[in-house]
Amino acid sequence: MTRQYDVIVAGGGPAGSAAATLLARAGASVLLLEAATLPHDKLCGEFLSPETVGVFQRLGVWPAIDALAPPRLTAARITARDGARWDAPFPAPGIGLSRYALDKLLFDHAGQVGADARQAARVTGVVGSLAEGFGVTWQAGNRAHAAEARVVLGAWGKRANLDRTLGRTFLSLDHPTFALKAHYHGPPIGRRVELHGFDGGYCGLAEIEGGRINLCLLAETRVLHACGGDPARLAAEVLPTNPALAAWLAHAARIHDRFLAISQIPFVRKAVVENDVLMLGDAAGLISPLAGNGMAMGLAAAEMVAPLVLDTLAGRRAAASLKATFSRQWHAHFDRRLRLGRLAQPLMLRPTMLGLGLRALRLVPPLGAALVANTRDSYVTSET
Ligand SMILES: Cc1cc2nc3c(=O)[nH]c(=O)nc-3n(C[C@H](O)[C@H](O)[C@H](O)COP(=O)(O)OP(=O)(O)OC[C@H]3O[C@@H](n4cnc5c(N)ncnc54)[C@H](O)[C@@H]3O)c2cc1C
């Protein structure tokens, strides 16, 4: 007989694991399906913005995260190729933590509070509706599985096989960007997140647990093509065109054998509800990494959707209201920062504009403060 759940969550990244935790803890039967085997390295800047600390406390995972001694990061520094520089303090500290540690910790926690959390389980299909219920299929090893649920949450990240299955339109667009990441041993950069611009891209540095430094860059695809598609050549030839980055790289050594790489990154509007599946995190919309806020948004969306889903399961909210309310809340909460990210990102890619922009931010401090404030939530806690 096909097993029935209240909720199936497709994707066990920060958004999916957080949603599964909140729903399971409130008594819902939840199946959490994650395609990867954890722990695993994931391409990300690995900076968790200040408001995530409060979410981790509410999820009950903060003691486990704190035990890993992630560095507290209290400010951002942005530099341009011409030497211009802007420093912005955060209103409360964020943290630097590897996705290798974070994703496993959040996924395991969902299992500990009662979700049926399965890894190496790739969802292959979702059919049905909120009115009729859903059928979900997944592949684990070479076995196919199926289950049913009243609600399905889509938390499979920025781009996945399921986007094609659901016929999502953003897949037909070209997204000429790529990203690279590797961990380094290098000169300490203090309690800062740094972003260094170069022609066609920018490169972030953030310390993570264990004193390592995560280097993660985003650039236009042409930059990689100009280096013959070789990330190591790009790191050796393009990154040192920014003097601050050149000075750091001169004394840094890569820990990972090779760079993690992704391409075709979709910074475009997506539907928040698709075929009655409620989307969370990057599956709903991906903010420019410049804001360092993607994980916080995924966690916030999980906190937004959980009470609405619980109301629906308890018969207090109709399916139409679940979809409409979630969609309205999501847009009200995130649209402004997504727009700002889309506006600011092109500036980061043009050295002359970046230099001018950073000088303007130094001259008019309220402008910078507004930029920091409008790309994130306010801070519910600062007990770090
Ligand atoms: C270059 C770059 C740098 C970034 N730096 C930062 C940063 O410093 N700070 C920050 O907060 N954000 C950053 N982000 C954004 C951040 O990585 C994302 O916003 C965040 O990972 C979103 O979490 P999520 O749970 O929605 O998706 P993900 O973390 O992508 O998780 C989705 C999960 O779904 C799984 N999955 C996919 N398909 C299936 C399937 N069919 N079945 C089952 N599981 C599936 C995947 O294996 C994955 O584990 C950055 C993004 C980029 C591109």
Span 275-293, average pLDDT: 94
Q: Which ligand 1 atom sits nearest the alpha carbon of residue 122?
A: 42
Sequence-distant (6+) residues with CB within 8 A of 365 are: none
Give pLDDT, residue 376.
67
DSSP H or E segment with residue 188: none
Q: In whole angstroms, give the CA distance from residue 188 to residue 248.
A: 9
Cα of 282 from ligand 1 centre, angstroms = 6
Sequence-distant (6+) residues with CB within 8 A of 8 are: 30, 31, 33, 134, 136, 147, 149, 151, 152, 153
Residue-wise pLDDT tens digits, 27-86: 999 999 999 999 999 999 999 999 999 999 999 999 999 999 999 999 999 999 999 999
Q: How confident is the model at residue 370 (pLDDT cuts 50, 70, 90)?
A: confident
Residue (of 279, 286, 287) closest to 156 by Cα position: 279
The reported pTM is 0.96
* Residue 95, φ and ψ in degrees, nearest 5: -135, 160
Lowest mean pLDDT among 56-60, 135-139, 225-229, 347-351: 347-351
In sequence order, the β-bridge partners of residue 50 are none
Q: What are the helix (H) ranges across 42-139?
A: 51-59, 62-67, 99-112
Cα of 281 from ligand 1 centre, angstroms = 8
Determine if ligand 1 sits within 6 Å of the CB of residue 285.
no
Give pLDDT, residue 378.
59
Q: Span 3-173+265-374: which CATH code?
A: 3.50.50.60
pLDDT for residue 384 is more than 70: no
Q: How confident is the model at residue 321 (pLDDT cuts 50, 70, 90)?
A: very high
- Among 205, 282, 342, the mutation site with the greatest number of ligand 1 atoms within 8 A of its Cβ is 282
Give pLDDT, residue 372.
75
Cα of 178 from ligand 1 centre, angstroms = 14
Cα of 33 from ligand 1 centre, angstroms = 15
Give pLDDT, residue 140.
97
Cα of 40 from ligand 1 centre, angstroms = 12
Q: How confident is the model at residue 328 (pLDDT cuts 50, 70, 90)?
A: very high
Q: Which ligand 1 atom sits nearest the alpha carbon of residue 162?
A: 41
pLDDT for residue 354 is more than 80: yes
Q: How is the chain split into domains, by residue range? A: 3-173+265-374
∠ at Cα 80 (75, 82), nearest 5°?
Answer: 140
Q: Which ligand 1 atom sits nearest the alpha carbon of residue 36?
A: 47
